[in-house]
Amino acid sequence: MYSPTRFECMGILLYQGATGSWGGDVANVFFLIKRVTLGRLLLGLSLLSMSIALVLIFVLSGVVRDRAVHDLARDEARQTSQLVFQSLYSAMRKGWNKDEIKGVIERLNTSMPNLKIRVYRGAIVAKQFGEMPGEAEVIAQEPTLQQALNTGDDVLLFPQEHELRYLFPVHAQKECLVCHTQSFVGAVHGVIDITYPINDIKVSFNYVINTIVGYTLLVMAVVFLVLYFKLRYLVAQPIADLVAVIQKVTHEMDLTHRVDGGHWIVELQRLSEYFNHLLSTVQQYNERLQELSVRDPLTGLYNRRKFDEFLDYEINRAGRHEHSFSIIMADLDDFKFVNDTYGHPVGDMALKQLTFLMESGLRKGDMMARLGGDEFAIILPETNAEQALQVARKLHQSLVNEPFELPVGKVTIAASFSVVSFPEDGKDKKELQTAMDVVLYQAKSRGKNQVLTAETEQDRTMMNIFRRGDFLRRALQEDRIEAYLQPIVQLSDGQPMAFEALARIRDGDRVIAAGQFIEAAEELGMIRELDMRIFHKGLVALARANPETKMFFNLSARTFADVEWVRSIPEQVEKAGLKCKRIVLEITEREALPHLSLVKEVIDELRQKGISFALDDFGSGFSSFLYLKYLAVDYVKIEGSFVRQIALDDRDLIMVRHIHLVAKEFGLKTVAEFVEDEETAKILAEIGVDYAQGYFYGHPASSS
């Protein structure tokens, strides 16, 4: 971030003063002037500390010096006064003789040339021995001298800068002749007045050392406190505030927090500004991402994710209040042509205009979403199927009547509409979405550009197929497809000769039989993947079985149409470590009829490699016997609907007997399906049927 210089800030002040725009901006400019860098702060703190130390040294040195001078001067003067007193003692005992005192003072002045000693006698002594010339006048003019004579307290004075004066009172003493000691009796005999230079005071070495050490520690403590508070409030506290905001943002996931600015240090101020800017940027991006997570960026409509949330909400609300609502789904017809012909920018413009046109025909409470590139859906709350159909027709008609004005000219866009309602067409989200897809599929199949609802039973059946298909799709994705094996036994001895691999879906503890999803798999084009999955798992199971056991596999028409995959079966079998003679592929006339010549060619090719074939559901079609002429198969599986009732219905018995006889004439083995009791098994054995399959011999069991 750019930081103005002091001269620029002053220029701003002059400009604002001239234009009259003072106020809060002035404070901001002055704040910029006072702001410093961290390096300058440290330099300033160092200089400040040094200045404080020097000031403290200077101030405290004067204080210590004055204190030392007072204490030492008093001690020195007292000692000197005691010495003078001892020298004058003999004269004082004689009554303060002027001549003796004068002689003593002269001798002291001679031995101590820097001293000025004067002696003043008290009132009692002066009265007894007479005043000395000028003594009374001097005493009268000096209050401190009078104080010393009257109170008997010593007085320390500093008449000049480098000079001290000490007044030492001399008290009357009484001598003890027995113990040879003296004691003061209270009266003041006089005052010894001593004046000498301060420089003559003798200072103790220990006193000097202790003073320096104490003084240094004091200065260090003061400097430390200053640095501590400066760094605490100028550096540490802003950083702590920044950390606190980071913690709030992290823990609360709230990007609205900000760091307070206004720091004296430029780096911290910039850090705060950049961090706040970073939070603002992240917040904007987060809001944008949230918007994109629920909105289509091109049209501004809700996306599929938000549509699903609204649909869940509306299902719950409608179920709670027991009313209906409807959904309109619109899929643009051949919109790819617009993009390919005019370009995607023109296509985007068309989508925007279409969105505006359709939204203008809806109520305020209706919700429109863009589910995909050219798919739109509308939720109509509290709207029944008849009302929703009217809305859909109105929207459809508006598209027909109002071509879009685009840069390439006027373009008309058609759309197919499906209308479904809750709870008639579905009681949960998946059922409603399946219903929308089914009705829309019907609209596309009938020529497009029309509005349809689920009106017929055929539409309802198709919805069920789609729902089962969704269930099958998830089972394939989650690998819940399992191969169940049902034994095929020899009727002569009841020993298993082979197994048929049957498809099942594992749904928790429940196992779903193929009859519940095979139709959906065929209708929705998932039967090929289902066959391949069962074939692979059947090979795995066969590898664990008796080496002489065979495995029968059903192949649908779609699977058999994938000739390349069918021709790769021998290679897959060998890769699994098995022999091709153990594999039997079952086909029905539905698989053979559409491409009979190609089927015949593939069968002949695979039989040469050892793969066997069985004609399944023989007798269920009108042309079943014809296929025995053209297709080289090895087994004929007799339709189970004939087998089940042969013990009760002679006509079924006749059919089974003749099918077996015809197959024998062609040299084929027969397999009877749906054998469910012992009596049926005995009749089949009497007829001469080779193999049997059904619940009497065993239910399908998991291969794993």
pLDDT at 18: 37
Do 350 and 271 lie in one domain? The reply is no
Average confidence (pLDDT) over 422-433: 85
129 pLDDT band (50/70/90 cuts)?
A: low
> Out of 50-64, 249-263, 437-451, 612-626, which region has the weakest mean confidence (pLDDT)?
50-64
Of 690, 314, 342, 234, residue with least CA distance to 495: 690
Q: How confident is the model at residue 136 (pLDDT cuts 50, 70, 90)?
A: low
Predicted local confidence at residue 33, as pLDDT? 39
Q: Cβ-count burial of 502 within 10 angstroms (0-12 exposed, 13-18 middle, 19+ buried)?
A: buried
Count the domains in the chain.
5
Q: Are 281 and 211 in the same domain?
A: yes
- Segment 256-267 shows an average pLDDT of 72
Percent of the chain clearing pLDDT 70 (strictly above): 71
Residue 185 has pLDDT above 60, yes or no: no
Q: How far is CA 72 from the centre of its chain?
A: 75
Residue 680's pLDDT band (cuts 50, 70, 90)? very high
Phi-psi region of 409 (alpha: psi -120 to 50; beta: other; left: phi over 0): left
Residue 632: pLDDT over 90? no
- Evaluate if residue 155 carries a pLDDT over 80: no
- Among residues 514, 671, 688, the alpha carbon closest in space to that of 586 is found at 671
Beta-sheet strands, E only, within 7-71: none
Structure tokens, 264: 């004296």
601 shares a domain with 494? yes
Considering the domain architecture, whether residues 270 and 304 belong to the same structural domain is answered as no
Answer for the pair 385, 325: CB distance below 8 angstroms, yes or no. no
Summarised one tens digit per residue, pLDDT across range 546-577 is 999 999 999 888 888 888 999 999 999 999 99
End position of a domain, from candidates 167, 202, 237: 202
Closest alpha carbon to 536 in 482, 603, 467 = 482
- Cα-Cα-Cα-Cα dihedral sign, residues 36, 39, 42, 43: negative
pTM for the structure as a whole: 0.44
The predicted pLDDT at position 20 comes to 40
Pair 341, 410 in one domain: yes
Q: For residue 429, what are its two tokens?
A: 């989200």
Q: Which long-range contacts (CB under 8 A, 24 or more apart) does 230-234 make?
A: 230/45, 230/48, 231/45, 234/41, 234/263, 234/264, 234/265
Task: Give mean pLDDT, residues 119-141.
Answer: 61
Q: Coil, strand, or helix at residue 477?
A: helix
Q: Contact 114/76 with Cβ under 8 angstroms?
A: no
Strand 496-507 to 510-513 pairing = antiparallel
Residue 453 confidence (pLDDT): 83
Q: Are residues 534 and 416 both part of a single domain?
A: no
Residue numbers of the domain that contains 16: 6-34
Report yes or no on 39 lying in a domain.
Answer: no
The H helix count followed by the E strand count for the chain is: 27, 21
Residue 79 lies in a domain: no
Pair 445, 496: CB distance under 8 Å = no
Confidence label for 638 from pLDDT (cuts 50, 70 and 90)? very high
- Same domain, yes or no: 544 and 665: yes
Do 269 and 355 sit in the same domain of this protein?
Answer: no
Angstrom distance (rounded) from CA 22 to CA 561: 87
| Pair of tokens at residue 517 | 């999803």
3-state DSSP assignment of residue 389 = helix
Nearest to 331 by CA among 246, 431, 221, 417: 417
Domain C-terminal end among 263, 292, 321: 292
- pLDDT tier for residue 210 given thresholds of 50, 70 and 90: low
Same domain, 631 and 580: yes
pLDDT reading at 131 higher than 60 = no
Q: How confident is the model at residue 314 (pLDDT cuts 50, 70, 90)?
A: very high
Q: How far is residue 664's CA from residue 307's CA, in Å, rounded to a whole number? A: 63
* Residues 72/203, Cβ–Cβ less than 8 Å: yes
Query: What is the pLDDT confidence band of residue 687, given thresholds at 50, 70 and 90?
Result: very high
* pLDDT grade for 597, boundaries at 50, 70 and 90: confident
